Amino acid sequence: MNKKIYSIIAIIILVAVYGYDAYFDQQVEEQVVAQGATAKTNTNEYFLPTSTTGQVVHHEGYSLSYSETHEQPEWVAYELKKSHLSNTNFKRPYFEIDKAVKTGAAHWRNYKNSGYDRGHLCPAGDRKYSQAAHDETFLTSNITPQKHDFNAGVWNRLEQKTRYWANKYDGVFVVSGGILNGKMKTIGEEKVAVPNQFYKVLIDVNSGEAKMLAFLLDHKESKEPLYKFVVSVDEIEKRTGIDFFSQLEDTVENRLEASAVYSNWSF
DNA sequence: CTGCGATTC
DNA sequence: GAATCGCAG
């Protein structure tokens, strides 16, 4: 008689424990998917945007989608981890053609005496954790023509603020590029297009609830505070045709990308 | 930090 | 072309 009761109790306990465990796992999984936290284990692969050009190239420190017609990337994406931040000073190497771009990346000569900077999209300052990572940003597939006062000015301020956020929020994912449409000037024999606007999109999945932030800047120097350039991710998608953060669960993605609220980001 | 240009070999 | 140096915001 006692045996029977013990057996029943044991079964009830087993079911309860198993059930709770399964429930707990499910909750965790939903949370992980919602926050895109699996990105942690897959660095810059997880949050890659879609490519409108069909030519995605992966490097150790960043990935890019190359637009042959504009001779520059339509986006450059990478994770800026807190551990990447460093004060090391590496000597600047020479710019090199990215051999991984099969259609042929632009030669740096296009920029020579053009009046435009060779502007990094994955900044050298974000890849200072090793000489190799640093030097890898000097591939011309990571470069876009930028006015010097813009590059060294408001764009540089935004990059420094991004490093501030990477430190504060334990890493952020970054996607940057020029808006490659409309009428654009070109420079050099290969006719590298000069974007009229540049964008930067950020996502933080490592500190609390996932949050996004997007910037759209005219290609001109500005002393305005950075929050004045905040737009929704949807706005950038509309202008570029690129789909960002599609790995997120749809309702989460839609909600975050429609918002231009920046109150949960510290400026 | 973001860069360019002159000079030298 | 490669490396070094100085300069500017």
CATH of the domain at A144: 3.40.570.10
User: Is the four-CA dihedral A87, A90, A94, A100 of positive or negative sign?
Assistant: negative
Average pLDDT over chain A reads 88
Q: Which residue has the tokens 């500005």?
A: A222
Residue A8 lies in a domain: no
Q: Determine if strand C comes within 7 Å of the CB of A149.
A: yes
Q: Determine if strand C comes within 7 Å of the CB of A153.
A: yes
Please give the residue that has the higher pLDDT: either A181 or A24.
A181
Q: Determine if strand C comes within 7 Å of the CB of A89.
A: no
Q: How far apart are CA A243 and CA A236, in angstroms?
A: 9
Residue A102 lies in a domain: yes
Kindly list the distances between the CA atom of residue A191 and the CA atoms of A44, A81, A103, A108, A145, in Å, as whole numbers in the listed order: 30, 35, 14, 12, 11
Q: Which of A236, A254, A79 is nearest to A173 (CA)?
A: A79
Q: In the 3-class helix/strand/coil scheme, how is A168-182 assigned residue by residue?
A: HCCCEEEEEEECCCC
DSSP letter, residue A124: G
Phi-psi region of A208 (alpha: psi -120 to 50; beta: other; left: phi over 0): left
Q: Which of A231, A180, A238, A174 is nearest to A204 (CA)?
A: A174
Contact between A95 and A143 (Cβ < 8 Å)? yes
Contact between A198 and A236 (Cβ < 8 Å)? no
**Percent of residues, chain A, with pLDDT higher than 90:** 81
Q: Looking at the predicted structure, is the pLDDT value of residue A39 above 90?
A: no
Residue A3 lies in a domain: no
β-bridge mates for residue A177, sequence order: A199
Closest nt to residue A125, judged CA to C1': B1
The predicted model scores a pTM of 0.84
Give the amino acid at A213: L
pLDDT tens digits along A186-205:
999 999 999 999 999 999 99
Q: How far apart are CA A217 and CA A150, in angstroms?
A: 10
pLDDT tens digits along A231-265:
999 999 999 999 999 999 999 999 999 999 999 99
Residue A26 lies in a domain: no
pLDDT tens digits along A82-111:
999 998 889 999 999 999 999 999 999 999
How many structural domains are present in chain A? 1
Residue A78 lies in a domain: yes
Chain B positions within 7 A of any protein Cβ atom are 1-5
Residue A223 lies in a domain: yes
| C-alpha A191, offset from chain centre | 26
Residue A23 lies in a domain: no
Closest nt to residue A145, judged CA to C1': B3
Q: Which domain holds residue A86?
A: 37-258
State yes or no: is A120 an active-site residue: yes
Residue A21 lies in a domain: no
Query: Given pLDDT bands bounded at 50, 70 and 90, which one contains residue A37?
Result: very low
Kindly list the distances between the CA atom of residue A135 and the CA atoms of A35, A42, A111, in Å, as whole numbers in the listed order: 32, 22, 19
Q: Determine if strand C comes within 7 Å of the CB of A25.
A: no
**Active-site residue, from A59, A70, A84, A120:** A120
Q: Which of A225, A221, A245 is nearest to A233 (CA)?
A: A245
Q: Determine if strand C comes within 7 Å of the CB of A251.
A: no
